[in-house]
Structure 1
Amino acid sequence: MVLQENQAFKHQFRVDDHVYNGFISVFEDRNVLHTDEEFAKNKGFQSKVMHGNILNGFLSYFIGELLPTDDVMILSQTINFKNPVYLNDVLNFEAVITDQSEAVRVNTFAFKFINENLKTVASGKIQIKEF
């Protein structure tokens, strides 16, 4: 196995206009919480809230591009949203392999996204298989 238990990974993501507009363009999710500044503020948020599934895209990038092997696929993932993400937020991503099964070549990661105010905006687990 290329990956080792307790191995840690870090990366920084920015939810900029390119990411935000790309998500809307591809998935056509124009829910007012994500697109209308005044609506979001009236609901108690600082501004329009970014789509939570943008973070799932960052998880895909982590597995597909940042791991030291291409021979992997995602088996499952869970994500718990804890705080809102706003346009131009910089998110520090941290993941660590918490469980490894050499027999079936499966790795489980615990991960979290932390904003610039040191608040965890999302956390969860992702399980991958190495070939």
Structure 2
Amino acid sequence: MPIEEFTRHAAVARPAEEVFAHLARPESYVGLSPLVVAVREVDVREGAVRYVAVERFRFGPLRWDNPIRVTMTFPEPGRRVVSEVVSPGRVRLRSTLALVPDASGTRVSETVRVLFPAPLRALVLGQAATAQEYRLRELVRRMANAGR
């Protein structure tokens, strides 16, 4: 199966500790990821957070809810969040968010690595890239508003 990887960056005007605290909570991903409309079955233990995120796809008047299993780990607490996603259709995604404090707040880098069946290439890569761009923009917006 093909594997693709891409990285994007964002400057967030909040301290890394605040950004990390937000990203370490599964509930924060509702709306942070554009398709995620719910989070359920949150299980925190053994240094990991496991949960089910519900992605909602719309096709005109029709909608399809796609439950995905997510495992978040924190290999460098306060500085790195790794999310492993298992989605139907044999799609696997790993998101690594790295937080680096800087003078204006935090530099956030997200690397997405996705494994998928070849026939799903255009759909998977399009959704993953769009979601990543949205997630970083929304994180910047949320954190800017958190300081008010």
TM-score, normalised to structure 2, is: 0.27
Select the structure of larger CA radius of gyration: 1
TM-score, normalised to structure 1, is: 0.30
